[in-house]
Amino acid sequence: MEHHLIRRVEYVKLLNTYPEKKSALGTLYLTATHLIYVEQTNNNTRTETWVLHHHIMSVEKLPLTASGCPLLICCKTFQLLHLLFQRERDCQDVFQSLLRLSQPVKEEELYAFLYNPHQNEVDRRQGWEFISVANDFSRMGLSNEYWEISHLNKNYEICSTYPSILGLPKNASVAVVTGSAKFRSRGRLPVLSYYHKDTKAALCRCSQPLSGLTSRCVEDEQMLQAISQANSNCPFIYVVDTRPKLNAMANRAAGKGYENEDNYSNIRFQFQGIENIHVMRNSLQKLLEVCSMKSPSMSDYLTGLENSGWLRHIKSVMDAGVFLAKAVCDERASVLVHCSDGWDRTAQVCSLACILLDPYYRTIKGLMVLIEKEWISFGHKFSHRCGHLDTDPKEVSPVFTQFLECVWQLSEQLPCVFEFNERYLIEIHNQVYACQYGNFIGNCQKERLDVRLHEKTFSLWPYLLKNQHLYRNPLYRRSLESTVLRPSTLPLHFKFWCGMYNHYDRGMHPKQSVLDQLLSLTQKQVEGERTMTELQRQLAVADGVLPDPSGPINTPAEQDGPSEKTPTAPVVQSNGSCAPLINGDAEEAGPGAEKCNEKEGADPGATEHDLTSSEDKPVSVETEHSKEEEQESS
């Protein structure tokens, strides 16, 4: 990938938010796709900061100060760049370039349409076919006695924002399906989201009914009936409206609304109280203000966290997800979920319930499938919600981010049940906004087809799979996988996700990472096992080839480890060909291979207190200190 240089500005200061005192001096480059900041340091090391233009949410010129012209860049990845230019003109130029670069108007301007990860057309096609919703239906056991895969929507005529294949109850006639679609907002009729084999209960999703104050629709009533009949284990179905009751009532006046229990037989109707996209957008805004406060007191921080309402919203999504999972597995009841359009809150709670119910979705690949199924194919409006293009800012909302956070909250409570670690969730989040791959461009399947996305861009999933070693959770235990997750939803079990919202404030994070430590150990383990097998082979060879009067030194069997986890590979018996003996080969991961975590030390700036006396010591003093300490450590 070439990076056409658009602009280069020298002597730009990058101010650090936390710890505050440190700032860097360097050169700023703008390319067609990235903003690159190269820090000049004394000891010949280059620190580069790359920011994708698509990641930039806002650029703001702050009032002129004595030390220069400040520019504040806020990113969708929650990175904040506080730059200080020496000359006003440079600042203005960069400001205007960034405004233009960070807000593409047309889809074709998005990075994904230029980006090629060195793949040919075959790779590209395979990449797109790698995750298949149809396969997931078969995994759930569809089609079966009660449910079938329907192609009624293959031309997107019944519902333009739904996928082309739908899971429908077998005994719902075409008339019922089309009739029900007409009675649902934007034609988003009740369809299968997840089929729970063990209980035969189904998780279904749709949009709100066009019930208004008095309307009803026989086909829609029959549709719900059909869903109910598909599960003989429970005489009723839950209908869950994820909105607060007040919002749903307001919709009735506009000819929409919610199901009247009198018209539908055997439904149990339930509100869940998740707020709408505007409330969520404002809440995140407030949360980010808290995150970027300069040396807040504990009280400022906690009050800000409370006032943002963010964790309250996260909890409301989690509560709804847990409600669905319990209904399915404890009550063996099918559930129909909707909100208004059924593409935001509905996607959140259905996908969360899937994770609670089915261990498959807790794997690296399973999460891809889940996102592809519940979010991409069911028409979560990624382009609008993420603000990929310069469109209506009122459409932007962190709905998907909230889903990822719910998964993270689960992983904090239940550290052994996910195959992936926190970095996987953060990487997915960054990729959603990056538009480097095509997956999250467009608002629904039809739109993607229309712009021939699969021919013009590449899929993210193969890239993530290739790097999956980075995203593994070393504590993952498959033995636990069959269990339905039962997280606590007490408020005190929800935490602020520092790794996401303060991701770039490295000073705030633990200075040593248990995850890195364990990942490097599991890596060493693989190497160690390989070395052991190889050594055993050599020993066997030596044994067989060299006649030794004192008999075998050691039979390979005796070398077998006690571990049940790792079967030792069978020892290759000498076949007569003379393998040379190799000296204890130092290159192969020996015990002293490498020490991780040499870098924790000594960043006094990380403690926020300043000595009032030490009015800005020269930076070099501090550098000297840390060098000294590094020497000590070695």
> Is position 277 annotated in a ligand binding site?
yes
Say if residue 560 carries a ligand binding annotation: no
Is 276 marked as a binding-site residue?
A: yes
* Phi and psi at residue 3, to the nearest 5°: -120, 105
The token pair at 78 is: 């929650």
CB atoms within 10 A of CB 562: 5
Residue of 220, 245, 207, 192 lying closest to 342 (CA atoms)? 207
Residue 220 Cα distances to 24, 175, 324, angstroms: 63, 10, 21
The CB-of-525 to other proteins minimum distance in angstroms stands at: 6
Neighbours of 371 (CB within 10 A): 25
* Contact in structure between 155 and 132 (CB atoms under 8 Å): no
Tell me the CB-side half-sphere exposure of residue 320, using CA atoms within 13 A. Answer: 33
Number of helices and strands in the chain (H, E): 21, 14
For other proteins, which is the closer residue by CB, 18 or 162? 18
Distance CA 165, CA 83 (A): 49
* Shortest separation between residue 298's beta carbon and other proteins, angstroms: 4
CB of 554 to other proteins, least distance (A): 6
| Active-site residue identified among 74, 339, 350, 354 | 339
Least separation in angstroms between residue 513's CB and other proteins is: 8
Q: Which is nearer to other proteins, 278 or 477 (CB)?
A: 477
CA gap 408, 386 in Å, rounded: 20
Return the bridge partners of 24, or none.
14
Nearer to other proteins, 393 or 592 (CB): 592
- Judge whether 17 and 294 are in contact, CB under 8 Å: yes
- Whether residue 533 contacts residue 569, with contact meaning beta carbons closer than 8 Å, is answered with yes
Closer CB to other proteins, 250 or 546, in the complex: 546
Asked whether residue 344 is marked as a ligand-binding residue, the answer is yes
Q: Give the containing element (helix H, strand E) for 74.
A: strand 69-75
Concerning whether 339 is annotated as a catalytic residue, the answer is yes
Q: Which is nearer to other proteins, 132 or 573 (CB)?
A: 573
66 vs 557 by CB, closer to other proteins: 557
C-alpha 465: how far from its chain's center?
14
Instruction: Return the number of the residue (341 or 505) whose C-beta is nearest other proteins.
Output: 505
CB of 93 to other proteins, least distance (A): 34
Q: How far is the CB of 514 from other proteins (least distance, A)?
A: 5
Task: Name the β-bridge partners of 338.
Answer: 206, 241
- Whose tokens are 């040396």? That residue is 295
Task: Tell me the one-letter amino acid at 69.
Answer: C
Characterize the bridge pairing of strands 267-271 and 166-169: unpaired
Closest distance between other proteins and the C-beta of residue 339, in Å?
A: 20
> What sign for the dihedral angle of Cα 561, 564, 569, 574?
positive
Q: Is 310 annotated as a binding residue?
A: no
Tell me if 343 is assigned to a ligand binding site: yes
Known binding-site residues for substrate equal: 276-277, 339-345
Catalytic residue ranges: 339
